[in-house]
Amino acid sequence: MSVKLYMDEHIHRAITSGLRLRGIDVLTVQEDGYKGYPDPIILDRATELRRLLFSQDQDFLIESNRRQAQNIKFAGVIFARQSIVSIGQCIHDLEIIAKLGNYEEFINQV
């Protein structure tokens, strides 16, 4: 069973396009009508949709750590530093996660 991804609004379009070309189910914050919403609402939305959130925004690390500490359930967060991980590497790694992962194993995980 494949994992569905929810892309933060600052993710490069090439990553989303590359994943779609590989058959990965990807939904962007913009397509979902949530552009500009605060991070906690974006993470709530990803959880509601049962999609892993991919972000390059460190604020999502803070929010997910807060939820872990307070035992608040959330969809998993996949984080990559934009300055360290290339677009191609993001596509490669996210494809593996999406095709081989199981949503339940990522709940409450970063």
Structure confidence by residue, pLDDT tens digits, 34-84: 999 999 999 999 999 999 999 999 999 999 999 999 999 999 999 998 878
pTM comes to 0.94
- Burial class (CB within 10 angstroms; exposed 0-12, middle 13-18, buried 19+) of 73: exposed
Taking a C-beta distance cutoff of 8 angstroms, is the pair 91, 78 a contact?
no
Taking a C-beta distance cutoff of 8 angstroms, is the pair 28, 10 a contact?
no
Count of domains for the chain: 1
Question: Domain of 24?
Answer: 5-106
